[in-house]
Each structure stands twice: as C-alpha cells, then as structure tokens.
Amino acid sequence: MKTKNICFLVPLVLLLAIFICACGREGSGSSDSTLSVYRPVKAEYRTGGELIRAEKVSLGENADPVQGAAYAISALSADDKLDSVLPDGVEIVSAEQNGKIAKVTMNAAYRAVGGMEKTLVDYCIALTMCSIPKIDYVSIYVGSDLIESRLTAGDAVMKNTVVSSDEAGVRVYFPRLTGGLGYEYRTITVSGDSMPERLIMDELMAGPKSEQLSEALPKSTVPLSVYANGGICSISFAEGFLSDEALTDEDIQLSIYSIVNSLTGLADVDSVQILVEGREVSDIGGFDLSEPLSRKAGMSGFAVVE
C-alpha cells in the first residue's frame, strides 16, 4: 500500500514542480500576450464545414508579437487535426510591424503557390497577424516585390451566415478600442412586423459583445422610426441625438458611421438619411447630416479577430 502511494505521488510532485518552473519563467509584471494562429484543417477533417481554425499560442514576455506570430505560423501545430500554414518549401523570411501594417516577406517559393492554396496561406497569415492588437493590415512581399497589398481579416468569409430566407447574419459596426470601427456578426430573423433595418438598429442599440469594441451610441439615444425606400434608409432619432457636450468630433463621426456602415451592409440599402425628430439636421458636431450618407473610404470597419 505504501509503495503504491509513493509511486502515485512522485510523478505528481514532479509535474507540479515543472509547472511552477514554467510559470515562473514567464515571469511577473507585464502580462504575456496570446496570439490566435490560424491554420487550415487537414483535408480528412474538413467534412464538418470548417476550413481554417484558430489555435491559441502564447508569446513570451516582451517578445515582438509580429516576429512571434511569424515564428508560430512557420511552426507545426500542436493539434493533429490542423495542417501547417506554409506549403513545403515556402518560408517566412522576415516580418516587421509598420504602424498598423504587418510587413511579411516570403521566400521565392511563395510565387509558385496559386489558387485556393495561395488564398489559404495569405489569409492564415492575415488573420493571425490581425489578431495582434493594433495590426489591421498585412502586406506580403517576395524580396522587395509587393505581392499582396493590405490584406485585412474582414476580407475572409469563414462560413455561410445565411440560415434561411428570413434568418441570416448581418455585420453590426461599433467603435474599436484601438481606433476606427470594427464589426461583429449578429443573427437577425426578419418577419412580417420587423424589417431588417429595424432589427439592425436594435442590435446596434444593444451594444457590442466583444471586449475590443465599445458602444456605438449613448444609452440616451432613442431611435424613433426606421424606413427604407429606393435604396435610401431613413432613420429618425429623438431630440438630443448625439448632443452631449462630452462627445468629441471623432466620437460623433464614429457613431454616425457605425449606423451608416451597419445599415448599408444590406443589399437594398445604398445610403442612410439620419433625421432628428423627422427633420434633417445640418450640424451635429460639425457634421452635415442633411444629405444621405454612404460608406466612406477610410471609415470601413475591421473584423474583430479574437
């Protein structure tokens, strides 16, 4: 009996010691960052509908995240259902951060990769890099040749979000903590007395789910009516819309484009007319809302990569 207990305890104690040491190595103070490395699912496991999957990888303390990501991408997966991102012979030569862009340089073998395979490589790299906070774009080079310019995570559609002719996913936009706009998918169900525009506004008012996003509109905002006609969606708010003194011009712009981007995501809506108490307003925080607004370059949102 006694020897049995010892046999059981010794490995446990050893494991505990290793664990403590491992934790200790990661140190205290600055938190270690985790990265989502996107890898393709192996062909034999693709029957479930999933093509790529994220794997959480921790980067060491004070490591350069872009370097770390490049390293993780090149490495093999710990999960035996996931394939390697880079095909045989293809390597990441270097990776560096340029403001919001991650500049990834590949070796010459990358030029030979084409079709779906290239798309997978490109977007596994793009999604992985964009999971690093403050990276929004990825540019891919071979040598000094720019092959792919400013890939974003949002360019990749990961799955079919349409359930039925009445139920589907829509993109709802919110301000990001790292600046600009980001979007989340929400599923809405259209019925006789709720049109999609109304449902999208409801989701917008409900607020974001992700911690990387913040509320688009102050809780005091009251949408009164929504209706769409001939490509223009008109939405009327109660008096006091975005009239809080504390709001900066930038805040106001983000709020407005949260509304515009969310609603123009629908195929039938090309522009959004914002009204206050049913009337057009010419000045909200320096903004002229008398004309319908369409999407603006530089105000498109980014996908939230968890």
Partner 1 sequence: MRRLPVISSIKNSVQLKFAATFLILIAALLAMLNTYPTIVSRDLVFSSKQASLQNQASVMSSALSTPDKLSGETVGEVISLLDLRNLTRVIVTDDEALILYDTNKFDPSAGRYALFSEISRALGGEVVCYSVYDGEAFSTCEAMPVVSGGNVVGAVYLYEYDSEQAKLISEIQKNLLNITLVLAIAAIVLMLIFSRALTVRITDLAKATRIVSEGDYDHKIEIKGNDELTELGREFNDLTQRLKETEELRRRFVSDASHELKTPLASIRLLSDSILGAENMDADTMRDFVNDIGDEAERLQRTTEKLLSLTRMDSMAGLDLERLELKSVVEKTLRLLAPLAVEYKIAISSDLHAGCFIYGNEDLVYRIIFNLVENAIKYNVANGKVKIKLRRKNESILLVVEDTGIGIPDEDLPHIFSRFYRVDKARSREAGGSGLGLSIVYDAVKLHNGSVSVEKRKGQGTRFVVTFPAYAAEEE
Smallest distance from partner 1 to CB 178, Å? 22
The answer for residues whose C-beta is within 8 angstroms of residue 177's C-beta and 6 or more apart is 211, 212, 213, 214
Smallest distance from partner 1 to CB 40, Å? 8
Smallest distance from partner 1 to CB 159, Å? 7
Residue 39 is encoded by which pair of tokens?
Answer: 């890898």
Residue placing its CB nearer to partner 1 in the complex, 251 or 268: 268
How far apart, in whole angstroms, are the C-alpha atoms of residue 227 and residue 268?
Answer: 12
Output Rg (C-alpha) for the chain, integer angstroms. Answer: 24
Which residues contact partner 1 (rule: CB under 8 A)?
A: 41, 46-52, 114-116, 118-120, 123, 154-165, 168-171, 185, 188, 196, 265-268
- Token pair 């522009």 is found at 271
34: closest CA among 131, 134, 154, 153? Answer: 131
How far apart, in whole angstroms, are the C-alpha atoms of residue 260 and residue 240?
Answer: 19
How far apart, in whole angstroms, are the C-alpha atoms of residue 185 and residue 160?
Answer: 12
Residue placing its CB nearer to partner 1 in the complex, 164 or 229: 164
Residue placing its CB nearer to partner 1 in the complex, 155 or 250: 155
Smallest distance from partner 1 to CB 53, Å? 11
How far apart, in whole angstroms, are the C-alpha atoms of residue 82 and residue 73?
Answer: 12
How far apart, in whole angstroms, are the C-alpha atoms of residue 37 and residue 118?
Answer: 17
Residue placing its CB nearer to partner 1 in the complex, 236 or 262: 262
Residue placing its CB nearer to partner 1 in the complex, 127 or 284: 127
Smallest distance from partner 1 to CB 247, Å? 29
